[in-house]
């Protein structure tokens, strides 16, 4: 009886290994985009947009600080 | 380019730019958990969630400035309150838009009859009414006082509407109604690499925009006082 129990226990433990076989590749991701290297096109276009926005922000920042200095001088 | 010599960029502004680039590049290139339904749209987490963090930070600054104005009656506090509310509103709208895009990608619709979504829209509409109130008053002191009181009310309504009520009812939005929230994404250390810097980047960006608006307003007022 004891040996049957231990065999059953071993069997159920071995069955649990099936859970680890869940393959990452079953979930669809943008792997094709990455394989073709097109992900870099996505990233570069976003970087270009971000650069445009950052340059605009820097320009506005400079104009505001120039205005601030002018008025501080006059006061 | 006349005064390029005297123009010095503060350290936190340079940090903002660096972190923004890091968040965008890392957000798209680095690995993320492979989850059903979400697929690649999980990367929107790096942008949608920081929008709300920045909005909350700016609304907190706004309500604190409103309380300070009621105590000090200094116009500079009123300026802080309104400009941070403006930029906070911008981030709130951006958060709603990114959320709608994410909802379209995962739920199939831009909007649902969901408590979190509806309550957020209502809170933003309450803040819109704050600006309408301000523009309807001409006297500076009266405008400052009334809008400060309304700001406090708007903030005190926003907190339960957005954070407390959705968690008490069934909701489709992550973090409410029995759905795992931050923890859904927190199990992945991959995402921790980008999300914290993205939150910091957008909070700093929000503060940068607010400080620009505040400086403009303050020095316009000072210039008018001199003239």
User: Mean pLDDT, chain B, as a whole number?
Assistant: 89
pLDDT for residue B180: 61
Three-state SS at B109: coil
CA nearest B126: which of B101, B170, B160? B160
- Does the pLDDT value for residue B67 go beyond 70? yes
Partners of B202 on chain A (C-beta within 8 Å) are: none
Q: Which of B2, B3, B24 shows the shortest C-beta gap to A46?
A: B24
Does A23 contact B at CB distance below 8 Å?
no
> If pLDDT is split at 50, 70 and 90, which confidence band does A21 have?
very low
Residue of B8, B207, B219 for testing the chain A interface, max A β-carbons within 10 Å:
B219
Tens digits of residue pLDDT in B1-36? 444 455 778 999 999 999 999 999 998 888 887 777
Rounded CA-CA distance B201/B21 in Å is: 9
Share of chain B above pLDDT 90, in %: 62
Q: A17 CA to chain B: closest CA distance, Å? A: 20
Q: Which comes out higher in pLDDT, residue B4 or B150? A: B150
- Does the pLDDT value for residue B125 go beyond 60? yes
DSSP string, A19-74: GGG--GGGS--THHHHHTTTHHHHHHHHHHHHHHHHHHHHHHHHHHHHHHHHHHHH
Q: A71 CA to chain B: closest CA distance, Å? A: 7
Kindly identify which residue of chain A lies nearest to residue B211, measuring between CA atoms.
Answer: A61
> If pLDDT is split at 50, 70 and 90, which confidence band does A30 have?
low
Tens digits of residue pLDDT in B29-58? 888 877 777 778 888 889 999 999 999 999
From the DSSP assignment, how many helices (H) and strands (E) are in chain B?
Answer: 8, 0
Query: In the predicted model, what is the mean pLDDT of residues B95-106?
Result: 91
pLDDT for residue B91: 96
Q: A49 CA to chain B: closest CA distance, Å? A: 11
- Does the pLDDT value for residue A37 go beyond 70? yes
Contact A28, B38 (CB under 8 A): no
Share of chain B above pLDDT 70, in %: 92
Partners of B28 on chain A (C-beta within 8 Å) are: 39, 42-43, 46
Rounded CA-CA distance B105/B221 in Å is: 47
CA distances from B178 to B15, B129, B181, B207 (A): 37, 33, 9, 34
Share of chain A above pLDDT 90, in %: 29
Query: In the predicted model, what is the mean pLDDT of residues B59-75?
Result: 96
> What kind and span of H or E run contains B34?
none
pLDDT for residue B111: 92
Q: Which of B17, B25, B35 shows the shortest C-beta gap to A54?
A: B17
Kindly identify which residue of chain B lies nearest to residue A59, measuring between CA atoms.
Answer: B1
């Amino acid at each position: 009886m004891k040996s049957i129990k231990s065999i059953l226990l071993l069997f159920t433990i071995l069955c649990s290994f099936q859970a680890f076989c869940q393959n990452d590749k079953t979930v669809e991701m943008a792997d094709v985009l990455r394989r073709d290297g097109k992900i870099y096109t996505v990233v570069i276009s976003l970087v270009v947009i971000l650069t445009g926005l950052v340059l605009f922000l820097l320009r506005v920042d400079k104009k505001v600080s120039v205005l601030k200095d002018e008025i501080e001088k006059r006061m | 380019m006349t005064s390029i010599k005297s123009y010095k960029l503060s350290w936190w502004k340079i940090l903002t730019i660096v972190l923004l680039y890091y968040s965008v590049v890392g957000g798209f290139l680095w690995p993320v958990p492979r989850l059903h339904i979400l697929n690649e749209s999980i990367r929107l987490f790096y942008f949608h969630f920081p929008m709300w963090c920045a909005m909350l930070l700016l609304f907190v600054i706004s309500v604190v400035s409103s309380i300070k104005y009621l105590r000090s009656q200094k116009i500079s506090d009123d300026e802080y309150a309104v400009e941070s509310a403006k930029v906070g509103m911008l981030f709130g709208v951006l958060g709603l838009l990114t959320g709608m895009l994410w909802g379209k990608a995962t739920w199939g619709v831009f909007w649902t009859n969901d408590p979190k979504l509806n309550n957020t829209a209502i809170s933003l509409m309450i803040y819109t009414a704050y600006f309408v109130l301000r523009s309807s008053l001409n006297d500076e002191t009266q405008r400052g006082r009334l809008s400060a009181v309304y700001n406090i009310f708007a903030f005190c309504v926003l907190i339960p509407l957005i954070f407390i009520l959705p968690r008490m009812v069934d909701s489709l939005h992550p973090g409410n109604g029995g759905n795992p929230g931050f923890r859904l994404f927190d199990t992945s250390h991959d995402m921790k690499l980008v999300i914290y810097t993205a939150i910091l980047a957008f909070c700093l960006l929000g503060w940068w925009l607010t400080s620009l608006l505040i400086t403009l307003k303050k020095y316009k007022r000072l210039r008018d006082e001199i003239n």
